[in-house]
Amino acid sequence: MKKIVLFSIILFVFSSLSMAQDLISVADLTKEMKNPEYIIVSAELETEYAKVHITNAVNISYKAFFKAGKIEGLLIPDSEIASIFGANGVSEGKRIVVYDEGAMKYASRVYWILKYMGAANVQVLDGGLEAWKAGRKPVTKNPTNITKTTFNGKPNTAMIASVDDVKAAAGKSSFVVVDVREVNEFKGLDGKSPGHIGGAVNIDHTTLIDTKGLMKPKAELEKIFTAGGVTKDKTVYLYCSTGVRTAKAYIALVKIMGYPNVKVYDGGLNEWVALGNKVDK
């Protein structure tokens, strides 16, 4: 009996550590700078990458995955996503670290797309470029030489919720729809947002990181989400406007807190409104 209990404890600790490992610290990334198995990806716009970036990082902007059209933020086809990664030297078999300036929303978005596309080993640099520079780690303005490759990951459609899924969840206690945008956007007070999807709760993505730009500890994250009625027993649908900010909450819920049923409504409020669906304030 004691052996069974001990094994259960070890398994729990190991699984907890594995989930948390989707974030990597500046110190740990520094140790892997010369490891050929690693590739570092800046998720920033090309103009920001040109100003300064982590030495040897390649640039794949989060906006590279925006589909052209009236609805901003929709994902381009899977084949095009794979082509972009491959053209920038990123394969599904690499150990991939994604970063942005520090807010983690752009890095988390590219992280989520990589996971959706079947990349097994993907991490976000906790604290981003600001934490990297604060640690006096190597940066440069020079673009990195790219060795093109082929990205052969298999997309996981189970990570995505459709507009019909969100509609079907309305009024069901076993589901919760979470709007991760800032509070004023949720309430329709910022002059740009019309409001939010009816029945959605608001967990502002900016509350998930601390003043240093690091993801908050598990215990603090649990308080934030449970206070909003987002509990482990429910299927969680996350959304924002374009899908960019949802991934921060996805990492917190799935990779840090171990929530089993979390999906991203990738079309977000932009698609919801464009399809003529009602919003609340």
Torsion angle of alpha carbons 217, 117, 120, 164, nearest 10°? 50
Q: Return d(Cα 18, Cα 16) in angstroms, integer.
A: 5
Q: What are 177-236's pLDDT values in tens digits?
A: 999 999 999 999 998 999 999 999 999 999 999 999 999 999 999 999 999 999 999 999
As given in the structure block, the two tokens for residue 117 are 């596309």
CA-based radius of gyration for the chain: 19
3-state secondary structure of 54: strand
Q: Alpha carbon 268 to chain centroid distance? A: 14
Q: What are 253-270's pLDDT values in tens digits?
A: 999 999 999 999 999 999
pTM passes above 0.95: no
CB 126 within 8 A of CB 107: no
16 has a pLDDT exceeding 60:
no
Predicted local confidence at residue 175, as pLDDT: 98
> Cα–Cα–Cα angle for 140, 145, 146, nearest 5°?
130
Q: What are 137-165's pLDDT values in tens digits?
A: 999 999 999 999 999 999 999 999 999 99
Predicted local confidence at residue 20, as pLDDT: 54
Could you give the domains of the chain?
20-155 (3.40.250.10), 158-280 (3.40.250.10)
